[in-house]
Amino acid sequence: MKCRELIEKLDKQKSLSHEEWVRLISDFDDEDRALAAELARNIATQMFGNKVYFRGIIEFSNICKNDCLYCGIRCSNKNAERYRLTVEEILSCCQEGYRLGFRTFVLQSGEDGYWNDGMLTDLISKIKAQYPDCAVTLSVGERSRESYEALFRAGADRYLLRHETADKAHYCRLHPENMSFDNRMRCLRDLKEIGFQTGCGMMIGSPFQTADSLALDMEFICEFKPAMVGLGPFIPHNDTPFAGYGAGSVELTLFILSLVRIMLPDVLLPATTALGTVDALGREKGIMAGANVLMPNLSPTDVRKKYMLYDNKICTGDEAAQCIECLKRRVLTTGREIVIDRGDHKNYKHKNKNFK
């Protein structure tokens, strides 16, 4: 079957066989990409109209016990200047964010043991008490099921944990021996069962990734049915073992984005900062290829340069307000507009009844 036919088949059946995925991911050309983008964009319009949701990311600690080979804040990177925001600093980011129109706060950090369950549940309760109309998304890595349950009870609504790759052998080449693919998958299943709107995702073009591993990613996403999928190109960081590898391709990232939209019509799909870093118009292109979410940085400007997962990350010198204005203009060029809305996944509207 031709790539064009495979894309049409995916649109009809919402799945492909492993061989079909491999074929599609290896053989597509610009015309196929344009077809997938058009289908994906139309699906996004059917599902969300011309709305694009905004989430404010607060990168509240870059201290991490893990040593992922691709990541700039890995524990072996002695050049990374470490920081940890205080609860007061995080709450003042939320205050500024609320004023700017954010109704979702994404709390992201390295795996920092200081933020134990008690500390995190206190923080979540405070944010939910002050901003009952806002969603809290956590992106704080692998934890126990009991911990995830406590965070959910405290009122967290969503959780982002990229699976990074659904190919176990590939996972082992991206992570040190003490990290386990099975535990990551366990975390994702626990999060979903507990009731979080759960996001998985992967880098595109990470070292040793093949069409076969991307096919496994698509099959995993198809089966897991996440509420959100985070996709961005791999970008090398100078102080990591992957410094010498090339960045992932914009075209492949956009194509995969479109395929995810076609496969899961109602999924929340961000045009990521990494996509905006490898291409000055990457986020606009992402929206044109089916993305419906943007996640501008709400972290204080003095720490932004320290949360460097990869080289040349954009928006590290800009104030939150500047990024919002910039993104509003950018979104308008795509014919869409930013809305003030929590932007929940449709299967989960106010599923977390702990706080309403």
* Residue numbers at the binding site for ligand 5AD (CB under 6 A): 70-71, 162, 164, 203, 232, 234-235, 237, 274, 309-310
Rounded to a whole number of angstroms, the minimum distance from the CB of residue 49 to ligand FES is 23
Nearer to ligand FES, 50 or 322 (CB): 322
- In this structure, the dihedral spanned by the alpha carbons of residues 41, 46, 52 and 54, taken in order and rounded to 10 degrees, is -120
User: Side by side, which strands form the sheet with 56-61?
Assistant: 56-61, 104-109, 135-139, 158-160, 197-204, 228-233
User: Amino acid identity of 181?
Assistant: F
Rounded to a whole number of angstroms, the minimum distance from the CB of residue 235 to ligand 5AD is 4
Rounded to a whole number of angstroms, the minimum distance from the CB of residue 296 to ligand FES is 6
Q: Quick one: what does residue 166 bind among ligand FES, ligand 5AD, none, with the CB cut-off 5 to 8 Å set by partner type?
A: none
CA dihedral sign of residues 247, 142, 98, 230: positive
Kindly identify the residues of this chain, within the stretch 245-304, that bind ligand FES according to CB under 6 A.
Answer: 296
Rounded to a whole number of angstroms, the minimum distance from the CB of residue 42 to ligand 5AD is 28
Say whether residue 123 binds ligand FES (CB under 6 A): no
Q: Quick one: what does residue 98 bind among ligand FES, ligand 5AD, none, with the CB cut-off 5 to 8 Å set by partner type?
A: none
Rounded to a whole number of angstroms, the minimum distance from the CB of residue 5 to ligand 5AD is 32
Q: Quick one: what does residue 204 bind among ligand 5AD, ligand FES, none, with the CB cut-off 5 to 8 Å set by partner type?
A: none
In sequence order, which ranges of the chain are alpha helices (DSSP H)? Answer: 3-13, 18-27, 30-48, 87-99, 117-130, 145-153, 168-174, 181-194, 211-224, 250-263, 273-278, 282-288, 301-304, 320-332
Nearer to ligand FES, 166 or 271 (CB): 271
Cβ-contact 204, 194 below 8 angstroms: no
Of 86, 87, 160, nearest to 130 by C-alpha is 87
Of 226, 219, 224, nearest to 266 by C-alpha is 226
User: Amino acid identity of 62?
Assistant: N
Residue linked to tokens 């990177």: 77
Rounded to a whole number of angstroms, the minimum distance from the CB of residue 281 to ligand FES is 11
Task: Give, in degrees to the nearest 5, the angle at Cα 85 between 80 and 91.
Answer: 150
Q: Quick one: what does residue 274 bind among ligand 5AD, ligand FES, none, with the CB cut-off 5 to 8 Å set by partner type?
A: ligand 5AD
R_g of the chain, CA atoms, integer Å: 19
Q: Pattern 303-332, binding to ligand FES, x per CB under 6 A? A: ------------x--x---xx--xx-----
Nearer to ligand FES, 160 or 315 (CB): 315
